[in-house]
Each structure stands twice: as structure tokens, then as C-alpha cells.
Amino acid sequence: MQLIIHRGTNEIGGSCFELNDGKTRLLFDVGLPLNNNDNTENVKLDIKGLYGYEETDINAIFITHAHPDHFGLLEFINSKIPVYMSRVTSNLIKKVYPLTSNKYLKNSDIHVLDNPITIGDYTITPHIVDHSAPQSLAYEIQYKNKKLLYTGDLRFHGRKSYMSDNLKKVKDVDYLIMEGSNIGREKQTQKSENDVLQELKCAFNTKKLSLITFSSQNLERFISVFKACLINKKTLVLDPNTCYVLENFKDLSKNIPQFNWNNIKVYFSPSSISNELAKDKTLYKYKSKKISVEEIRKNPSKYVLKDNFYLTKKILKKFKPEEIQYIYSLWKGYLEKSLHTDILKPQLIHIHSSGHAYLEDLQNFVKELSPKIIIPIHTQHPKKYEELFKTEVLNLSDCEILEVAE
């Protein structure tokens, strides 16, 4: 059986690898590189049978989670290939992603994978792990007498860290294909999601208007923000897009805040997303919770606003920057892309915890799992693995073929 990492041996994002035994071909993740500048045609992987409409010999694609650097190529792929993922990932990819990206996934053959599945001589077992995307999966792959474990993206310091801990119980792993996004970033402060909550609680305790940038799809961060609002008796103002994302998480737990809850208001802004939501009347549901900038101006200390291009633009016309407390709750690397950063920089507070495992947690994971061989993926520092994990490491190059002996 051959293992080929098509992309990801030496970069964060764009992950994709293949298992091929001559009879059955499986792909794991079909991601877009992080810096693709929207020119997706140039970053399509050269994989026979992946695109087009003809018969293909790729039997299945397994997606770990709903971040475009793991599933972004799905919009191009042959619709005859079945694609497997978790329930929440499928909701996000089918309903939310087309809305926010204007990319419509032609592929309709998406399947929810709750249990192990056997395809040819492979048995693939999904394991839910903790990451900044909800219901992310790692995959355990049994092929004859060999076992592979693909971590996808994971961390051990979120509220659902016990899920990643469960992965340590997988027995007799021959090849661990492991992400290492935070390898080489050891100097960053290693905050947990609980630290984020505590810092947000303090930050929202202000007479200023609070404005916060975070990802709608980072459910744990959303819960931290909402809890910190409740403790400070503040109302969280969301855009319709975020309300829609939250509705898609409803199945996951009854504890996920929804637009009609107390302490949530909705700011209606003219955007392509609102237009789309208006088409099937989803948008009108949110009307009962509508709030205007004028209402916010009357009592700014009462509100925490989720940053939205139109809302923030309007807010900056009505408020002086020093009247705003601006919290940036994403990875600092994205800060340059942030549209309001320059104006709000003097007010900026960075409160964030990484979506990826810290080095020490990865070391503990490897120690407990004790795989025979580690294969680095989703990292900028694959060469550091050997020294860091004291385990045999196989550094592959993109597209290199590894023959896995049965």
C-alpha cells in the first residue's frame, strides 16, 4: 500500500494525502493553501481522477473538519466521489460555507460518518477531537496488519480537550500522521480556552463600547464571549450570518446560544450574506431582535459588538476610537488582513487561545500513544519532530511515495 502526501509535508494548510493499494484509493482532506489569494485554479493539486465528471478510481474522500485549508478543493472535485465527514462539518460545508464564500459545492455526495466504515481492505474509524472547528475528526485507519492514525488539526487545551485525550487510547499505531502547527512557535503564550474566558470577563467590565473580532464558526470562542457578556450583564450584538451559523449548530447541544435568547440582539447590515438569507426568508426571523447603531449610541456600555465590516464602519462614524474597547480574538497572524486594525490599534487587546496543540501537549500525546513512526504534516518545521518527540520520524516530501509494507 502506498502513502502519498500530496501537500502539507512542509506547510500549514492545504493538507491532502492518499492511500492507494492498487485496488482502492482513499484521500484524506483536500485543502486549499492558507495564502491562496483566492486564485484557487493555481492551487489545485495534480491528482489523477480527482476532478472532472468521468468515472474515477478514487473510492472516497475523508474530511477532518470545516476549515478551508482542509476541505477547500471540494468545490472542484468529481461529484461521483463519496465524501465523508462529521455531521456538524457537513452542515457547515453544505449550508454555511457557500453563503460566506459565494462558492457553491457542486458535489452532492456528502455522507455523515458516525461509525467505522470499511472500504476495500481499509477500515476507517472517526474520532472526534478538540479543535477550533466544532466536531473535528481524527481518523484511525486499519489496513491489513498496519494501523495509521491521522490527527487532522487538534488541541488539548479547549473545553472539549477530553475528546483529544481519548485519541491517546488508540492502540498499536504504526504510523502517526501528526499536525504540528505550533511547532516553532514555542514562545507564544500558551493560553487555554478557559484563560480566554477569564480575560474576556475582565475586558468586558468597562464603561466603553466593546467590539470584538472572532470567528463565527469557532463555537467555543463564541461560548466564551457569550458567558463573559452574561457575567457583565451585557448584550451581545451579532450579524445575521452569525445567527445563521448558530442555528446550524443547534443539533450539537441545547446550550448553544441562539438569536432569540435574552442578551442577544441582531444588527441588520446590507451584505451579500443578508441578501442570500432573505431569499428563503431566514433573515426575517431575526427581525424581532433588531437593534440600530442609534440605540447602541444611547447606551454603549451595555453592548458587546461582534465585529462586522458594515457595523464597525458605522460605529467608527458615531464613536471616537478611544470610546471603543477593541478585542482581537483570532490568531495574530491574521491581524494584517483586519480592516479596522489601523484605526483601532491603540485600543487593541489580543485575547486568544490557539486552535492547535501546544508542543508539550503533543509530546505527552506521542508518549502515551507510542506510535512506531511519526510522519509530520501541517507544519512548517517537520525536521524538528525527530528531536522533539524522541520517536522515529519519516520526513516525506510532497508527492513522494512511501511504500507501506503489509
Binding mask of the shown chain, residues 10 to 49, with x at each position contacting Zn ion by CB under 5 A: ----------------------------------------
Q: CA-CA distance, 93 to 76, in Å (whole number)? A: 14
Phi, psi of 242 (to 5 degrees): -65, -40
Choice between 7 and 67, CB closer to Zn ion: 67
Residue 322 backbone phi and psi in degrees, to 5: -70, -10
Question: Does residue 352 belong to the site contacting Zn ion (CB under 5 A)?
Answer: no
Least Å distance between CB 319 and Zn ion? 34
Nearest distance from C-beta of residue 39 to Zn ion, angstroms = 21
Phi-psi region of 77 (alpha: psi -120 to 50; beta: other; left: phi over 0): beta
Which CB sits closer to Zn ion, 206 or 248? 248
Task: Give, for 349, the enclosing helix (H) or strand (E).
Answer: strand 349-350
Q: In whole angstroms, give the CA distance from residue 181 to residue 356.
A: 6
CB of 65 to Zn ion, least distance (A): 6
67/221 with CB nearer Zn ion: 67
Number of residues interacting with Zn ion: please give it, by CB under 5 A: 2
Which residue, 66 or 396, has its beta carbon nearer to Zn ion? 66
User: Residue 31 carries which DSSP code?
Assistant: P
What are the residues whose beta carbons fall under 8 Å from the beta carbon of 383, sequence distance 6 or more?
Answer: 395
By the 8 A CB rule, do 196 and 212 touch?
no
Minimum CB distance to Zn ion smaller for 154 or for 304: 154
**Using the rule CB under 5 A, is 378 a contact of Zn ion?**
no
Least CB distance to Zn ion at residue 286 (A): 28
Judged by beta carbon, residue 68 or residue 240, the one nearer Zn ion is 68
Quickly list DSSP for 153-216.
S--SSSTTHHHHHHGGG----SEEEEE-TTTT-TTS----HHHHHHHHHHHT-SSSEEEEE--T
Residue 221 contacts Zn ion per CB under 5 A: no
Site string for Zn ion, 104-143 (x = CB under 5 A): ----------------------------------------
- Nearest approach in angstroms of CB 377 to Zn ion is 12
Edge-to-edge strands of the sheet including 146-150? 117-119, 122-129, 136-143, 146-150, 175-179, 373-377, 392-393
Distance between CA atoms of residues 205 and 377, nearest Å? 41
The grid coordinates of residue 171 equal 492502540
Does residue 153 interact with Zn ion by CB under 5 A? yes
Q: How far is the CB of 355 from Zn ion (least distance, A)?
A: 6
Residue 67 interacting with Zn ion (CB under 5 A): yes
Choices 148-156, 256-264, 364-372, 384-392; region in contact with Zn ion by CB under 5 A: 148-156
With contacts defined by CB under 5 A, name the span among 67-75, 183-191, 247-255, 266-274 that binds Zn ion. 67-75
Site residues, Zn ion (CB under 5 A) = 67, 153
